[in-house]
Amino acid sequence: MSIFVTGAAGFIGFHLCKRLINEDKFVIGFDNLNNYYSKQLKLARINRLKEISSKLGKRFLFIEGDICDSQSLKIIFKEYKIEFVVNLAAQAGVRYSIKNPNAYIKSNIQGFANILEVSANFKIKHLIYASSSSVYGGSNIAPFSELNNVDHPISLYAASKRSNELMAHSYSHIYNLPTTGIRFFTVYGPWGRPDMALYLFTENILKNKPIEIFNDGKMGRSFTYIDDAVESLNRIIFNIPPSHIRNKNEYYPPNKSWSPFRIFNVGSDKSESLLNYIEALEEILNKKAKRKYLPLQQGDVKITASNNEELYSWIGYSPKTDLRIGIKKFVSWYKKYNGIK
């Protein structure tokens, strides 16, 4: 079995590859190793995957490349007879999308179009792709459900992810290509991204620098521990959505279709206050943060809250890791990775 994971040097991609390797799957990791954040961290993740693979019998192959290069994708799919695709490659970051919109159009739209096209042409068994809780945009109906309307994105990043969902449905319909979109909610944990809140807060607190708290801390997030995200992904990969004959009288909600198409939230069902999140981190670090309160940033939302009923009904699992346990594991990794005692 060959599984193609794009964004393999990224946070979620790294952890998913590690899980698949440990379960005796052959994984082809693909990443362009861009400089959006530390390339050193990305290379450290890839090297760790190679070490694990070497011990277990060479189950991992890394290829440096870009999903915007359609020709390279065709060569890889043909040579390695790809069966499953998990597309985690994307330009991330809500605020960054306001300053650098072209990066999102290129990677998240054109790049994803290439993934859809090659997946359809090579008739892969299942394409799973990362969407985002950001698609809920200006919704004030919490917790967020996949059955809700998501037609009001408030950042280009969110719009690009919603576009992915619509593009995927068209390919599911035209080519009978099984696709599943995953709306991730604020994933955190060891090997996390340096631009994410937990990494930034930990780094600044330990360096006696102020942490920036937007909207005066009046924000809530469904903080989702990485192991829960990967467990959900692993189950979804091999749970392929079926297709059936379209019934003209049947109502199809936004997250499913007559085509082999599904969308799921993957997030903690508990929305935590940002201030509680910071207090938990302070307690684990045994150090108080210097706080700098700022207004809500353009493109940000005040709250995210995940409804997991659809996910649980599909795979019999939903995120459950306690926030303090997850933060403690991150801090332990952070100190070890940065040589802090």
Residues marked active site are found at: 157
Helix (H) or strand (E) holding 270: none
CB pairs under 8 A, 24+ apart, for 99-106? 101/156, 104/156, 104/157, 104/160, 105/160, 106/68
Query: In this structure, what is the dihedral angle of CA atoms 110, 116, 120, 121, given to the nearest 10 degrees?
Result: 30
Could you tell me the end-to-end alpha-carbon distance of the chain, in angstroms, rounded to an integer? 42
- 28 closest CA partner among 61, 76, 57, 58: 61
CA dist 114 and 71 (Å) reads: 9
What region, left, alpha or beta, does residue 112 occupy, with left being phi > 0 and alpha being psi -120 to 50 degrees?
alpha
> 256: helix, coil or strand?
strand
Q: How many CB atoms lie within 10 A of CB 53?
A: 21
Q: How many CB atoms lie within 10 A of CB 182?
A: 24
Burial class for 175, CB neighbours closer than 10 Å (0-12, 13-18, 19+): middle
